[in-house]
Chains A and B, each alone.
Chain A
Amino acid sequence: MPVIFSKSVRGRTGVSLPENDVPDNVSIPENCLRTSPLDLCELSELDVVRHFTALSRKNYGVDTGFYPLGSCTMKYNPKVCEKAAGLDGFANLHPMLTALPDGVKMTQGSLAVIYELENLLCNITAMDAFTLTPMAGAHGELTGMMIIAAYHRKKGNNKTEVLIPDEAHGTNPSSAAVAGYDVKSIPTDPATGLLDIEKLKEAVNEKTAAIMMTNPNTLGLFNPQIKEIAALAHSFDAQLYYDGANLNAIMGKFRPGDGDFDVVHVNLHKTFAAPHGGGGPGSGPVGVKKHLEPFLPVSRVVKKANGEFCVCDDYPDSIGRVAPFFGNFLVNLKAYVYILMMGGEGLKKVSEQAVLSANYIMRSLKDHYDVAYLKTCMHECVLTAKRQMENGVSALDIAKALIDKGFHPPTIYFPLIVKEAMMIEPTETESKEAIDAFIEAMVEIAREAEDNPEALRNAPVSTPVGRLNETKAAKEMNVACL
């Protein structure tokens, strides 16, 4: 499909703006004026509408079909949340109103949402205080690590290292590095699929600033030794960080704060049903235990004795500002609506069904694919294409074959420590019929891998384009139509 710029027709317009009703005109000094051409589109509204409608039809979302992308929690995004975010009072409010004396009086509704959502998240995770300002999961990680750095600085601790299991999401080491730390990778015990606690004991020392954990980990396994790990960390005044990417597995079953985690981030765009938007916006609120609260970023929302909400920036130990204002407010609002509707019991049921569905898939496919760790998993399971590789069929081929059968593929080649990994996360919002259809497709593909492997290597054939040449893309670097 041609790019939008090629559809431009000179003299066509897509909007009508009012005529200038003031006597003044443009008067900008000559040296400040643009002289290069402003090469933008000339299209009608209908041209634009058709272009983007056509683009949307080349996409696959949760609303299109089953999306078992492991680690991404692609659950259904309730429409009522979108409706709430579209309410004029929320959508068209200037954040700097709160900077004006009495301006907070005009924003009490939004401040209430922030305050109440922070409290709900504290309850869900057993933390003492939350900030909603981080704008994505990785941004939450970075914020958390900066809070830890500020804590150690305040205490005069000389900490230089962060320990991270080798199965962790790539953002963990990357965020720790942006917070100024060296990263040490801790191996996973191949027998259990869990962090090798002996190796951890060898690695942890006076220099350790923090240990970052995902629990359940990226293999979908819960680590029951968490209290022991926490005690080990705390014996060196290292902080234990909880990556909440997999929170959908454990709501009402385990609260990170009860496991002695000091910092946690949660992904509202995963567990709490805010849509992913094709890559964002997300939201990655961070919760901390009492001893880290002084370091939380500003602005913070405070409830006064008279019940009025106000905005406070006066926290001398705060790490400062990670977002321009209150984070991705409308994303937070969607999560707030979702939590209100689910309630405590509902959230518990979410995790129960998410875990049941993942185990059901694993048990249904274990005779057809190798399972990385064949034991009870949490909300996702990791299969491998090891058996299919004997016929030259890789995880990538299986993923592409699933596309031809109408499904979004699972996450592939992650975690890195499992060869030919396929990480499947069904989420609780998929029906048994949808899951069974997926299982059937996977079984069929396993059969085809034996009968006709060549066909799988050519998949997908039902899409607007086939497998694309990534080498050409990286070498030619055509990233803009100019």
Chain B
Amino acid sequence: MAAVPTDLLYSKTHEWVQIEGDAVRVGITDHAQDSLGDITFVELPKLGTSVKKGGDAGVIESVKAASDLFSPVTGEVVSLNDSLESAPENINSDPYGSGWLYTVKFTDKSELDSLMDYEAYEKYLETI
């Protein structure tokens, strides 16, 4: 059973979101890392670029799969987890901690309303 922390929000494309003031921290869920397998490479959006809710925000690769990353909110990328370049396996071992991906300063807080809470995400996982 994949871990789903209670204090985060979730997207249907398996990103998690943690609100930090006017920005959000983004990563992929335990379920997502588990289905990808050993992650070997992450391509993050460039610092300072603007991302759109539901738009492309990089790629994540494992040995046998590759998956696009989608931004859960619209805004500007304000920080990146540089450590993933040399240690992408952190996403496997600690998806909600040292395996975080990037932070986005959002432009429209109401976009967060469309994300799922942990209960809704757990239910969603049961359906797939």
Direct contact of A and B (CB under 8 A): yes
A residues in contact (CB < 8 Å) with B: 470-471, 474-475
The reply on B118 being an interface residue by CB < 8 A is no
The reply on B121 being an interface residue by CB < 8 A is no
Instruction: Supply 8 further A-B pairs (C-beta < 8 A) apart from A470-B38, A470-B63.
Output: A471-B38, A471-B40, A471-B63, A474-B41, A474-B61, A474-B63, A475-B41, A475-B88
Report the Cα distance A474→B63, complex, angstroms: 7
Chain B interface residue count, Cβ-Cβ cutoff 8 angstroms? 7
Quick one: closest A residue to B38, CB to CB?
Answer: A471
Report the Cα distance A475→B63, complex, angstroms: 9
Report the Cα distance A474→B61, complex, angstroms: 10
Interface SS, B side: loop
CB distance from B91 to the nearest CB of A (A): 13
Chain B positions 61-105 with a Cβ under 8 Å from a chain A Cβ: 61, 63-64, 88
Which residues on B sit within 8 Å (CB–CB) of A471? 38, 40, 63
B residues in contact (CB < 8 Å) with A: 38, 40-41, 61, 63-64, 88
Quick one: closest A residue to B92, CB to CB?
Answer: A471
* 13 A-B pairs whose Cβ atoms sit less than 8 Å apart in the complex: A470-B38, A470-B63, A470-B64, A471-B38, A471-B40, A471-B63, A474-B40, A474-B41, A474-B61, A474-B63, A475-B40, A475-B41, A475-B88
Which residues on A sit within 8 Å (CB–CB) of B64? 470
Which residues on A sit within 8 Å (CB–CB) of B63? 470-471, 474
Report the Cα distance A414→B88, complex, angstroms: 27
CB distance from B39 to the nearest CB of A (A): 9
Which residues on B sit within 8 Å (CB–CB) of A470? 38, 63-64
CB distance from B128 to the nearest CB of A (A): 14
Which residues on B sit within 8 Å (CB–CB) of A475? 40-41, 88
Taking each of B40, B41, B61, B64, which has the highest tally of chain A beta carbons within 10 Å of its own beta carbon?
Answer: B40
Which residues on B sit within 8 Å (CB–CB) of A474? 40-41, 61, 63
CB distance from B67 to the nearest CB of A (A): 14
Which residues on A sit within 8 Å (CB–CB) of B61? 474
Report the Cα distance A225→B38, complex, angstroms: 42
Quick one: closest A residue to B87, CB to CB?
Answer: A475
Taking each of B41, B63, B64, B88, which has the highest tally of chain A beta carbons within 10 Å of its own beta carbon?
Answer: B63
Report the Cα distance A340→B52, complex, angstroms: 59
Report the Cα distance A471→B64, complex, angstroms: 9
Report the Cα distance A475→B61, complex, angstroms: 10
CB distance from A351 to the nearest CB of B (A): 34
Report the Cα distance A475→B38, complex, angstroms: 10
Quick one: closest B residue to A471, CB to CB?
Answer: B38
Quick one: closest B residue to A413, CB to CB?
Answer: B64
CB distance from A478 to the nearest CB of B (A): 13
Report the Cα distance A475→B86, complex, angstroms: 9
Quick one: closest A residue to B61, CB to CB?
Answer: A474
Quick one: closest A residue to B86, CB to CB?
Answer: A475
CB distance from B96 to the nearest CB of A (A): 22
CB distance from A217 to the nearest CB of B (A): 23
Report the Cα distance A470→B38, complex, angstroms: 9
Report the Cα distance A471→B62, complex, angstroms: 8
Quick one: closest A residue to B63, CB to CB?
Answer: A470
Question: Which are the 6 A-B pairs with shortest beta-carbon distances?
Answer: A474-B40, A471-B38, A470-B63, A475-B40, A471-B63, A474-B63
CB distance from B46 to the nearest CB of A (A): 22
Quick one: closest A residue to B88, CB to CB?
Answer: A475
Quick one: closest B residue to A470, CB to CB?
Answer: B63
CB distance from B18 to the nearest CB of A (A): 28
CB distance from A477 to the nearest CB of B (A): 9
Which residues on A sit within 8 Å (CB–CB) of B40? 471, 474-475
CB distance from A8 to the nearest CB of B (A): 32
Report the Cα distance A474→B88, complex, angstroms: 11
Report the Cα distance A475→B88, complex, angstroms: 9
Report the Cα distance A212→B61, complex, angstroms: 28
CB distance from A122 to the nearest CB of B (A): 40
Which residues on A sit within 8 Å (CB–CB) of B41? 474-475
